[in-house]
């Protein structure tokens, strides 16, 4: 996935320095793109992670891919119930069942259900992703106040991975982009844009 994105990036910008960013699961993709560029001798001037999803990090070659046990699934369900609300989680599960019915009858999925399938694929990729290499360059992480207050464990993998300077900036708003109060919507997104602009300017000045 990261290699495909990198090919598209290089069509527009063949050489660095590169400014990369990713939101939630996209932060892991941005990290892999940054690692590929770094190994290719390119400069990644900025890696900005917006509310990155928790990261599993291991330098062991024998590390087995993360596999979700039944208890993990229950834990994940309860976390979603708390984070998103009971009604939203039920809606998501219902749409998954409807999606499978469409497939069983050989009917093309409506666009709304196709989006859900993409979300499921992203979730699977995110859960099974294990970072293997340290990242020696600076990283700026933008976290909501809600995320920071939840648990430092959510950032543990990222903290272990980044051997360069890791700067954590607190932002307002909520994590989910489809909920009222999202940090990607007004008025929060304007403040986020200002912080990202400042981070870019700081790198350019160097």
Domains, the chain: 2-66+130-205 (3.40.50.1820), 70-125 (no CATH)
Q: Return the pLDDT at 34.
A: 97
CA distance 82 to 7: 39
CA distance 66 to 68: 7
How many alpha carbons fall within 13 Å on the CB side of residue 64? 3
Per-residue pLDDT for the chain (206 aa), expressed as one digit of tens each?
Answer: 899 999 999 999 999 999 999 999 999 999 999 999 999 999 999 999 999 988 887 765 444 444 445 555 555 555 555 555 556 556 667 777 877 888 888 888 777 667 766 767 677 677 777 888 899 999 999 999 888 887 676 788 899 999 999 999 999 998 877 777 899 999 999 999 999 999 999 998 76
Residue 104, token pair as written in the block: 């069983």
Q: Return the pLDDT at 58.
A: 72
Residue 40, token pair as written in the block: 């290719």
Residue 46, token pair as written in the block: 């900025």
Q: What is the DSSP string of 142-202?
A: EEEHHHHHH-GGGGHHHHHHB-S-EEEEEE-SBS-TTSTTBTTSTTHHHHHHHHHHHHHHH
The number of residues making up the chain comes to 206
Q: Return the pLDDT at 63.
A: 43
Q: Return the pLDDT at 61.
A: 46
Q: Prior bond to 17 cis, omega within 30? A: yes
Q: Return the pLDDT at 66.
A: 42
């Amino acid at each position: 996935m990261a290699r495909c994105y990198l090919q598209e990036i290089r069509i527009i910008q063949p050489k660095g320095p590169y400014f990369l960013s990713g939101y939630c699961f996209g932060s892991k993709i941005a990290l892999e793109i940054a690692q590929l560029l770094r190994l290719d001798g390119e400069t990644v001037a900025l890696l900005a992670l917006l509310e990155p999803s928790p990261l599993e990090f291991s330098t062991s070659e024998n590390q087995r891919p993360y596999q979700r046990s039944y208890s993990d699934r229950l834990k994940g369900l309860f976390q979603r119930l708390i984070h998103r609300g009971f009604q939203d989680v039920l809606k998501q599960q219902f749409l998954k069942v409807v999606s499978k019915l469409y497939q069983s009858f050989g009917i093309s999925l409506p666009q709304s259900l196709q989006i859900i399938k993409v979300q499921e694929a992203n979730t699977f990729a995110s859960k099974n992703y294990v970072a293997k290499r340290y990242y020696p360059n600076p990283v700026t992480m933008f976290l909501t106040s809600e995320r920071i207050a939840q648990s430092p464990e959510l950032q543990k993998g990222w903290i272990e991975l980044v051997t360069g300077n890791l700067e954590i900036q607190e932002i307002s708003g909520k994590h989910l982009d489809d909920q009222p109060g999202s940090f990607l919507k007004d008025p929060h997104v304007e403040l986020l844009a200002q912080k990202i602009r400042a981070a870019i300017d700081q790198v350019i000045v160097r």
